Each structure stands twice: as C-alpha cells, then as structure tokens.
Amino acid sequence: MSKTLAIVQREHRALAAVLYTFDHVLADIRTGKVTAEFALFDAVLSYVQDFPDRFHHPKEDEVLFPLILKRAPEVKPMIEELQAQHHEGIRLTSDLKWKLDAWKADPAKGFAQFDAAAQKFIEWQRKHMAKEERTVIPAAREKLTAADWNAADASFADNDDPIFGANPKKVYDQLLSKIASLAPEPYGLAERKEPKKPEEIPPSRREQLVQLHWI
C-alpha cells in the first residue's frame, strides 16, 4: 500500500477511536453510570476540531483529491461534497465547543444540549469517513498511477511537512494519549467515577440550617 493511503487510513482509525470514546462516555453519563469530567471533553473537542482541520483534511484537499480528480473526473461531485463537509465540520465543532462552555456554566442543565449536538456530530463525522473509505479511496486505488502515488508520498514524506505546522504528529499523538488517560475504563485508562447516590451527597450548608430549623 502507498504511504499516503496508509497515513490517511491510520488517521481515520485514530479519529474513529476518539469518536468511539466520546460516544460511549456520553452514553454512560446519560444513563448515570459515570460522572462527567470536563477535562476529557476539552481534550476530545480539541482533537475532533484541530486534528481533521489542521492535519488530516489538508492531505485530502491538497494532495489526494486533486490527484484523484485528474485520473477519475467522474468522482468530482463526490469530492465536492466531501470538501463541503470539511467546511461544515468546522462549524459543527465550533458549535460543540460553545455548548460545552454552556454546560460548564450550568452543570445541572447544560448536558442535554451538548449531548444532543455531540451525538449528531459523531454520526456525521463517521458517515464522512465511511464515504471516503468506501468511494474515494477505492477510486484512488483503482485509478492512480505509480507516479501519482510517488508524488503523493513525497508531499508528506515524514508526516511532519511544513504545510501541517511544526511537528504536528507529536502534538496530536500527545493529545490522543491525554484522551486515553482521562477517559474512564473500559474506553480509556482512568478509574471510573460513578455518580454519588443521593444519600452519599453531603447536605449543603443551607439544607443543614433548614434541617436544624434555624431558617
């Protein structure tokens, strides 16, 4: 397999793993099995926004898609749709960041809105990658010549090409490790923090005073 395809597909797997963790942690919060950790969601949102936008999509938009278009112009509508989705992704992840801030500001009520937007985003991002894996990548395999693949491979030879910024692979690998260390088991490596039962929650100062009939 060409180095280009190996890198693109490895990045799809890394993003899919983050989406899997995101999806399952949300489901466990929804069903009261685990307590929300905002630090995990901060890291997940940084990843799902920055990794595709700054690291992954440039490989597709600037290297892979133009080569495919040259050899298989019939896939142009599909590629235009995928490129439009790359722009749509920026809007969706910005909206998610805004909803995470709203949840932090209102921990009791903010989860539902964030959760609904996150579920939509996860499904959307999975469909986008599936479309690439099922249509564009097979077309590339079929139509690109050895010279095309050499040109593509040379474009991101060490995967830390200047067009992607300084040492970006290391930055995103570190972020991936952070997500793994913050996500509760069995999705990640952190101990599960289960929500406290009502009888375990210490009464607030006001409730104590009410119980004592002082106010």
In the complex, the residues that contact Fe ion under the rule CB under 5 A are 60, 132
Distance (Å, whole) CA 209 – CA 14: 52
Q: How far is the CB of 150 from Fe ion (least distance, A)?
A: 21
Q: How far is the CB of 82 from Fe ion (least distance, A)?
A: 5
Q: Can you read off the two tokens belonging to residue 91?
A: 């809007």
Of 51 and 103, CB closest to Fe ion: 51
Of 132 and 148, CB closest to Fe ion: 132
DSSP, residue by residue, 180-212: HHHSBTTTSSBPP-PPPPGGGSPPPHHHHHHHT
Of 131 and 143, CB closest to Fe ion: 131
Q: How far is the CB of 56 from Fe ion (least distance, A)?
A: 6
102: CB partners within 8 A, 6+ apart: 110, 113, 114
Q: How far is the CB of 154 from Fe ion (least distance, A)?
A: 20
Find where tokens 């996860």 sit: 122
Of 57 and 178, CB closest to Fe ion: 57
Of 12 and 99, CB closest to Fe ion: 12
Longest dimension (CA), the chain: 84
Q: How many CA atoms lie within 13 A of 194 on its CB side?
A: 5
Find where tokens 């960041």 sit: 97
Q: How far is the CB of 129 from Fe ion (least distance, A)?
A: 5
Distance (Å, whole) CA 43 – CA 176: 8
Sign of the CA dihedral running 134, 138, 140, 146: positive
